[in-house]
Structure 1
Amino acid sequence: MSSHDPETPRQPLARHLAGPLTDEDAPVLVLSHGITDSAACWADAVGRWSASGYRIVALDARGHGDSPRWDEGDLADQDTAGARLAADLTDALEDLRAHGLDGSGPLRAPLIAVGHSMGGVTSLDVAARCPDLLDAVVAEDPAFVTPAWRRLLALDAVRRVRDMRQVAADPEARVRLEQAAHPTWPPVEVRASVEASCGVDLRFIALGCVSPPTPWQEVIDSLAVPTLIVTGTDRVVLRGDNLTNITVRANPWISTAVVLGAPHCVRRTFPERFHAVTDPWLAHLPRVRDK
């Protein structure tokens, strides 16, 4: 496959819409999933937030779900792939802001990015660089990584690709395994996660890329929209000093919440506790866009 022709626009990310779509005043939540997942992996949250009056735009990241596969030029290394993750989300948000959910005209309602892991750090990166696009961000255990961690992820990528191939070879076996390992996960999301793994673009997984290349310090210091970072305490990215290093920078726009005992998938493991943190915070945001 040849690299992308810069004169040819890239295909946009796939969108999955839910909620009161005809209510032009309803805030819009743009959901960005973690690596190897898809928009379908938000099913439980989509149901809850839709019932609370939010319009939902759940995105499939490039190479995931129904979105286009990766261009070779963007797969040169972790930096180029990470930059494409951020550019894709920026493009999606710019289009929503300019044309709305149905293309009928500019979006007047608040636009809020919500992301997990890869999607969480990408949402924070875009919010830091383009504050006029967004009104708030919620990031669930965002995948902030150091240069050393990036090297380890690259070394582990071969194992990750092998694991994805094993999932695709017997998805039902993996569904049973995941259900036993994660009994509190919404069953619909267990299956959706396995199905997403079966179709992910393995060329992207082989890079070990989980985030845009912007240093985490720059992202944290640059954020200038209301931001909620939610993490746990069990094998999470933002544990110990990783979370302290964020909070000591004292950016007044950032709030943090720790769900004790929760792993990296905070929301799936403890849905009620996750929503008890995020939903009141979302409810206190202005319901009218002030930008």
Structure 2
Amino acid sequence: MTADPAPAPLARHLAGRLDDAEAPVLVLSHGITDSAACWIEAIEHWAPRHRIVALDARGHGDSPRWDNADLKNQETAGRRLAADLSDALEDLRSHGLRTSPEEPSVGPLRAPLLLVGHSMGGVTSLDVAYHRPDLVDGVVAEDPAFVTPTWRALLRANAFRQVAGMKGIAKDPEARFTAETTENPTWSHREVRASVEASCGVDLRFIGLGCVSPPTPWEEVVDGLAVPALIITGTDGVVLRGDHYLNLLSRRNPLISTSVIVDAPHCVRRTFPERFHAVSDPWMEMIIARGRRAGRAA
């Protein structure tokens, strides 16, 4: 019996100090319905000192659409989210920065590598770091989508509303752009434009599952994480609010740092970029310096 072909790899967008083999690497994973293009302001901010790999999640941006086998339920889709990121990291570590696995290898990547993710991308980054600590040196997660079993059920039951919302955006993207920029005056117009375009092209079959994370319980991920992580959240309708945030703090993993940016919503960085970077950047530099001192086996 012939095995099913492996799913096609995610699209990668490279930026920053690509000619500097010693420059640390940031691998960016966006939230649901966004794309790699939605990181444009952060990419320009980090590019002078880092090499950057911005990924389009499956069914988003330039990445392949979803295979039916992975869309059976939330668990199979969530496992594919994690596998996609793990596969990309394995290729980067083994063959260096290249836009596609079909390109010639440029040799193993030994520079420090940090994952940076928002929402779905944040929790997926933490999940992969938990299961594959050999691939990463640290994680920055912006209001990661830590959901409980009850939340998963509610997301599944209400996914049709998000599908309808995406269809509505596709019918009138300019109205969505105007609404977003009016309601969120500090948001970069370039990122809002990219977000609207990504919403118009997202794979609605995935959206219809209500899947926002890999299936591993977030408590297991937080308790077992063996690489440093910084979790940044806000106070205005964020995922990590109230008792949920206190539950995170109670896990007491010494490798996890947290920061709350007052008045920030779920899109912390897009709303308060200066405050986000004031927290994230010094922490990242500390982890990068630690990674350089530790080095990687030849």
Do the structures match in fold with TM over 0.5?
yes
> Which residue in the other structure is 1:245 paired with?
247
Q: What are the Cα deviations for residues 71-123 of structure 1, in whole angstroms up to 9, with x where unaligned?
A: 00100000000000000000000000000003310001011100000000000
Tell me which residue corresponds to 1:47: 44
Residue segments in structure 1 that go unaligned for 5+ positions in a row: none
Question: What is aligned with 1:143?
Answer: 145
Where 2:54 maps in the other structure, the secondary structure is strand
The answer to whether structure 1 residue 34 and structure 2 residue 36 are counterparts is: no
Structure 2 residue runs without a partner (length 5+): 99-104
Question: What is the match of residue 19 of structure 2?
Answer: 22
Amino acid at match of 1:32: S
SS at match of 2:238: coil
Give the counterpart of 1:285 among 277, 283, 287: 287
Counterpart position of 1:100: 96
Which SS does the other structure have where 1:284 is aligned? helix
1:88 to 73, 84, 91: 84
Instruction: Return structure 1 stretches of 4+ with deviation > 6 angstroms.
Output: none
The separation in 2 between residues aligned to 1:15 and 1:216, in whole angstroms, is 27
1:189 aligned onto 2:194:
no
What amino acid sits opposite 2:119 in the alignment? S
- CA deviations on 1:43-96 (whole Å, 9 max, x unpaired) are 000000002x11100000000000000000100000000000000000000000
Q: 1:277 Cα deviation (Å)?
A: 0.4
Alpha-carbon distance in structure 2 between the residues aligned to 1:242 and 1:139: 16
CA contact (8 A) 2:95 2:107 kept: yes
Taking the TM superposition and a 5 Å limit, the aligned residue runs for 1:1-291 are 6-51=3-48, 53-102=49-98, 103-287=105-289, 288=292, 290-291=295-296
The residue type equivalent to 1:186 in the other structure is S
Contact residue 24 and residue 288 of structure 2 kept, 8 A:
no
The superposition leaves residues 245-277 of structure 1 with CA deviations (integer Å, 9 ceiling, x where unpaired) of 111111011000000000000000000000010
RMSD over aligned Cα, in angstroms? 1.0
1:6, distance to aligned residue in structure 2 (A): 4.2
Note the C-alpha offset of 1:286. 3.3
**TM-score (normalised: structure 2):** 0.94
Amino acid at match of 1:272: E
Determine helix, strand or coil for the equivalent of 1:18.
strand
CA deviations 1:142-194 (Å, max 9, x no partner) are 00100000011011100100000010011111111111011100110010000
Distance 1:94 1:174, change over 3 A: same
Task: Give distance in 2, aligned partners of 1:138 and 1:121.
Answer: 10
Quote the Cα distance in structure 2 between the aligned partners of 1:6 and 1:105: 30
Rounded Cα–Cα distance in structure 2 between residues aligned with 1:280 and 1:185: 23
> Would the aligned equivalents of 2:163 and 2:208 in 1 still touch at CA under 8 Å?
yes
Letter in 1 for 2:92: L
How high is the sequence identity, in percent, across the aligned residues?
68
Moved more, 240-249 or 87-96: 240-249
SS of residue matched to 1:230: strand
- State the distance in 1 between where 2:91 and 2:224 align: 23
Paired with 1:64 and 1:124, the residues of 2 have a C-alpha distance of 20
Q: Classify 1:186/1:163 alpha carbon distance in 2 versus 1 (closer, same or farther; 3 Å).
A: same
How far apart, in 2, do the equivalents of 1:240 and 1:83 lie?
28
